[in-house]
């Protein structure tokens, strides 16, 4: 049997490692935020790297997610509208669609889509380059951080914001067409309904939640790749560690937004 001291120290060590992992994420986010808002960061090499990541990473994500979200929105909106009509609740159908689909499901789906298609694979690439001899983030200078980490992190965050905006607009257009058809005469009542849902407090929480999702999707895989122990920095290890932390952070952000909107 292990001695009592060792049995007590093991959970404490796991707790310390868990807290240290979240500290690494917060520290990396603060460092990259300072670099992102520093004009001297954007030398020609960094500008080219960010532009390359945006073109190669963001454009395919927008096209694919726009198609998938439009199809899913069409099915979900049709189900909600038909169900509301059958129960005589058609006046609440649009408000329900906006609240459930645009406010809650689309930002969450955008964050998960970017995480699985871009940021987690990018984190695995960073982990493999670290095993091959790359330095950890603690040893990288500002220029190296701006060159190696800022482009994928900025692209992942902008991707979540862009995908949520594009899919939200498409969902609102699809909802209008399914309910009112190809007529401009219902635009007044439709915009009033959407405006009643997107009050100042709800709109602020929606923006902050989407930004929080983007920051989580961008930072967690990068921090897991560059700060985790080299022995765990294989592709499977980096992706699993990033996904566990990312799921916890996304759930926390979603819970806070629900509390702010409905309590």
> For residue 3, is it within any domain?
no
> How many independent structural domains does the chain possess?
1
Residue 92 placed within a domain: yes
Give the CA angle between residues 48, 53, 57 to the nearest 5°: 160
In a domain, 25, yes or no: no
Taking alpha carbons only, the member of 39, 245, 233, 225 closest to residue 137 is: 225
Q: In the chain, pLDDT over 70 holds for what percent of residues?
A: 86
**Alpha-carbon distance 203 to 158, whole Å?**
19
Inter-CA distances, 17 with 13, 238, 248, Å = 6, 15, 16
pLDDT of the residue at 7:
52
| Structure tokens that stand for 160 in this block | 């979540």
Q: Is residue 155 part of a domain?
A: yes
Tens of pLDDT, residue by residue over 160-195, are: 999 999 999 999 999 999 888 888 888 888 899 888
Collapsing DSSP states into helix, strand and coil, what is residue 61?
Answer: helix
Domain membership of residue 186 (yes or no) is: yes
Please give the residue range of the domain that contains residue 151. 31-262
Whole-model pTM: value is: 0.87
């Amino acid at each position: 049997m292990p001695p009592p001291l060792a049995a007590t120290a093991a959970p404490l060590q796991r707790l310390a490692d868990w807290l240290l992992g979240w500290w690494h994420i917060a520290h990396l986010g603060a460092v990259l935020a300072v670099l992102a808002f520093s004009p001297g960061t954007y030398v020609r090499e960094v500008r080219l790297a960010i532009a390359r990541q945006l073109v190669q990473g963001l454009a395919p994500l927008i096209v694919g997610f726009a198609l998938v979200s439009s199809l899913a929105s069409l099915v979900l909106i049709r189900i909600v509208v038909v169900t509301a009509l059958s129960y005589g609740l058609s006046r609440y159908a649009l408000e329900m669609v906006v609240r459930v689909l645009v406010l809650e499901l689309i930002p969450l789906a955008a964050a998960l889509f970017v995480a699985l298609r871009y940021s987690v694979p990018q984190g695995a690439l960073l982990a493999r380059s670290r095993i091959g001899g790359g330095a950890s983030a603690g040893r990288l200078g500002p220029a190296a951080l701006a060159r190696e980490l800022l482009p994928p992190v900025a692209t992942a965050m902008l991707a979540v914001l862009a995908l949520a905006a594009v899919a939200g607009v498409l969902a609102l257009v699809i909802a209008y067409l399914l309910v009112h058809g190809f007529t401009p005469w219902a635009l007044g009542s439709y915009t009033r309904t959407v405006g009643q849902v997107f009050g100042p407090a709800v709109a602020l929480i929606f923006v902050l939640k989407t930004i929080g999702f983007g920051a989580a999707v961008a930072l967690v895989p990068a921090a897991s790749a560059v700060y985790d122990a080299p022995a765990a920095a294989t592709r499977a290890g980096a992706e699993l560690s990033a996904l566990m932390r990312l799921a916890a952070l996304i759930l926390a952000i979603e819970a806070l937004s629900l509390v702010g909107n409905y309590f």
